[in-house]
Structure 1
């Protein structure tokens, strides 16, 4: 590699002739065929690589899976031993794996030579970089842990609150059921003490079975209609000498029992046994209704646990083909306790959208951050809108709120790490930065924001095809700077 050739790379374009010659003498050009590994994560970081032509993909190993972080064909991007100037203060191994997507050429500089160049040529920059690296790493670790703990605590509190309601309902219904069963045993003794002959007892049992079936299929009456039905049935019971009619009629009406049906009970058991039979039937109906309540409560608990499993994705592959609506619904369930009574939730889903390949657990983190920010912006009242749509090549997820909006002077900085408009101690400024990295770097998508007072919308744009199905990303003429930033963040 000649000094003039090195000057065409953005990393070296400002160096003087002597430094370029020094690099040319110590570096070399290496070729990697398409599909081959340039270096692997965990190996000793022996070289610094600058791409001359071709395309590469950067990945990391996570729980046994290779997770692609970025891919590019931008000339001059670099990776490898970018932290060799820190010496033995950090472990000098490759933090990522780099793979050539097509036939690719690199300018390769040994790690110790690269470290010597940085220390000798840029002593002031070296101190600044050291301070930035160690300071940012410490801050990122502390704030990242705090962000995750706060999110975990919030979601756990919400989930336990949601679980408590059906669990408490099941406990109450179980206690009431125990009382009803005890009453049924008492009435059974009264009915079966010999006052009823075999045929009447059999008829009563058949009526009991019919009452249970009616209770299981009974329609839900409107409040006024239910009151009228209870009043009419109570009058009938009073006329036939049944004590406590006002206590019995609500249960019987809830089970679909009317006066005509009770008249059939009287004919079957005789007028002298009507009250005991009616109470026996009421206990049966009430027992069936209570078992229905328990079944509904346990079903709600099961649904909440299912939503938590869908949200966490702990028992599933990191990358899978997912229905985005299932992920959104799971996240909304997890955040339900944080939705104030004054906030109206509107879901506008295009159910015709296809399933897409994605990292489900990470997308759930994006939805959590966007929904939490939207709820915080509305100060307890407004409309939260979650909308999905497609444009032919992408699936779009929109989270909108009617809050105070994002000021124009703040909008360009909202995706910067550690930038937050929340009061001190309430925000870390990492939520949108993490969301941006997940959407853009991990899913090859985009995240946009439109905001004015009363109408703020974050739009997440996800490709319908997975990262592994796409070629190198094409860049526009003004994307070089962004690519350099991405390379610097993903280096080594």
Structure 2
């Protein structure tokens, strides 16, 4: 294309002919058919593009993979592409997808050339824009962290209030119901333990033996009665004694007893399940630190356990071991933010192990620092990228699976907020992150 058309665009109208010629030699015109993608979100941000004619559409991916339109334009001179990469060199990829809605003409310039031109032609404005970009990004990230924690606390407060009362009522009702049913159907025999401590194989053998014995005595549905009786601690010897004391109607007595035991076991299961819900509610409260001041005296072991409880759904295939030094003191800390650190480190460890392996959590300390070590048996972090893992937006996960902010957030919470340190050692099968927190509070800011 010629420099006359470039100068007609508002972006370039103040440039002299030599600058226009420079742009024209480094960039060039490209055409796109309707519906054709110009670039994709997450791809390396290599080009800066300016619309010459046609209509373009910007979209971004949201959670779940759907694309949402965020802008469209037919304005001649509208620009997009690696704009952020020009003023912030840590931004490496396109933040959105750009598509041609109608046939389009585009002026495309490599980002490296645009960066060279701006640094050479307008050095002072570039310094200012880069500084502003870094400041805005840091501020936005910190505000976003606080907003997420506040949102989590509000959500947890509402959910726990709604869940805790009915869960507690269910536990109370199940206990009373067991007492009432015992009066109606009869108390359980005193010589039954109520629960069995047998292994799975031993249970199977005893059920088969007792089922055969009941079948020989003419008991209806012996193979349904036997598992219930064995689960309560019964065996053939117990059944013989029970037969002697209920000789007039042994089959009916076994049937009634089986019903009572089955109801009792179901109520016990319901009580245990509801108690588990109450425990999870308590863990959620502890995790979000709702209704508590941000800076507080905290026991890191309680924080770690609440985080593990919240992440239990991700740990089903992982062997978790804890090696806690319970003699360590509590520390002044932003507890909810430390929970975010544990969450990011544990989540990364589980992801590195592909959901299967061993997660080891250890605490130890000295007179100066309390240390939390989180280790995994994943493939390890390659030596060539180990020095970069705490950089913002750096990630080894596929596009869409990670933002590259998790470890950066951890670093800022531990180092900037708590005056501590975070370290990593890694080799195949043994990666360890160590979070060092000062025992004597000194640098926690407001």
Q: Same fold (TM over 0.5)?
A: yes
User: Is the counterpart of residue 365 in structure 1 residue 365 in structure 2?
Assistant: no
User: Is the counterpart of residue 250 in structure 1 residue 227 in structure 2?
Assistant: yes
**Equivalent residues, number:** 307
Who is 2:315 aligned against? 339
User: Is the counterpart of residue 462 in structure 1 residue 437 in structure 2?
Assistant: yes
Who is 2:196 aligned against? 219
Distance 1:215 1:299, change over 3 A: farther
Consecutive unaligned residues in structure 2, runs of 5 or more: 1-121, 160-165
Distance 1:276 1:386, change over 3 A: same
1:317 Cα deviation after fit: 2.2
> Equivalents in 2 of 1:377, 1:148: separation in Å?
28
- What is the root-mean-square deviation of aligned Cα atoms in Å? 4.1
Structure with larger RCO (C-alpha < 8 A, sep 6+): 1
> Equivalents in 2 of 1:408, 1:148: separation in Å?
35
Which of 263, 279, 288 pairs up with 1:312? Answer: 288
TM-score where L is the length of structure 2: 0.58
Mapped contact 1:353–1:389 kept (Cα < 8 A): yes
Distance 1:454 1:221, change over 3 A: closer
Equivalence map 1:30-429=2 (5 Å): 124-125=123-124, 127-134=126-133, 137=136, 141=140, 145=144, 208-211=186-189, 217-263=194-240, 265-271=242-248, 273-339=249-315, 341=317, 343-429=318-404
1:239 Cα deviation after fit: 3.8
> Equivalents in 2 of 1:147, 1:454: separation in Å?
35
Q: Deviations over 1:280-338 (max 9, x none)?
A: 11111111111111111111111222111111111222122222111111112222222
Distance 1:215 1:302, change over 3 A: farther
Mapped contact 2:314–2:355 kept (Cα < 8 A): no
Q: Deviations over 1:324-370 (max 9, x none)?
A: 111111112222222362x4323222222222221110100111111
1:396 Cα deviation after fit: 0.7
Distance 1:142 1:441, change over 3 A: closer
Consecutive unaligned residues in structure 1, runs of 5 or more: 1-122, 161-166, 186-203, 471-489
